[in-house]
Amino acid sequence: MISDKEQFLDTINKVFLDLELAYHYQFYKVFSNEDKINSAKKLWAENLQHFEINQILGASHKMIKKHEFLPSLHDFVKLCNEAPINEDTLDAEAAFAEACNSFSPRQSYPWSHPIVYFAGKKIGWSHLNLTNSASKAQFCNVYKKLQLELQSGIEFKIPNSDEGVKQQDTDTKLLEKLRKKHNI
């Protein structure tokens, strides 16, 4: 049985193999000998230890598609932050796009995963429709927290549209009082 530490170290080795294969000449120019490679692996491991293995592997795949040149550790950390924590969910950027493109009734919308709905609901649909960088950042923060909750075993279920909205009866006494107050 592979321990978490062994799995993490295997993941770092896999990332460095990806770097070597995808950026061969640049890789050997930066990491010219085994000592530099081992030092870099240690540095990367220290800076990536708080990410889930899925995020690191997802970032590695995205790195090859997105970066023409050998990325820095800083660039790779950014990619890890963008990567989904759970394999069953979208990355935060794709989830934000899905939430922005959704329509009412939102409970009936065909969500890729319920946490996209709950992140959008928490931010507020009207605020989300502004699609500015602030609403995107807020959405991504909430979405990542929900991914962590999902990872810890919390289940998310979108309520049926009939359950969510129940219209209250009109308070006729309050209505009459307001009419008198405003002479209507």
pLDDT in tens, the chain (184 residues): 446 899 999 999 999 999 999 999 999 999 999 999 999 999 999 999 988 898 899 899 999 998 999 999 999 999 998 887 777 788 888 899 999 999 889 999 999 999 999 999 999 998 887 767 788 889 988 998 898 888 778 889 998 764 444 556 677 888 888 888 888 8
pTM above 0.85, yes or no: no
Q: How far apart are CA 59 and CA 76, in angstroms?
A: 7
* Domains delineated in the chain: 4-82 (1.10.8), 92-164 (no CATH)
Q: Write down the H helix ranges in the chain.
A: 4-22, 24-30, 34-48, 53-66, 73-82, 92-101, 114-123, 125-128, 133-151, 161-164, 172-181
Rounded CA separation 90/88 (Å) = 7
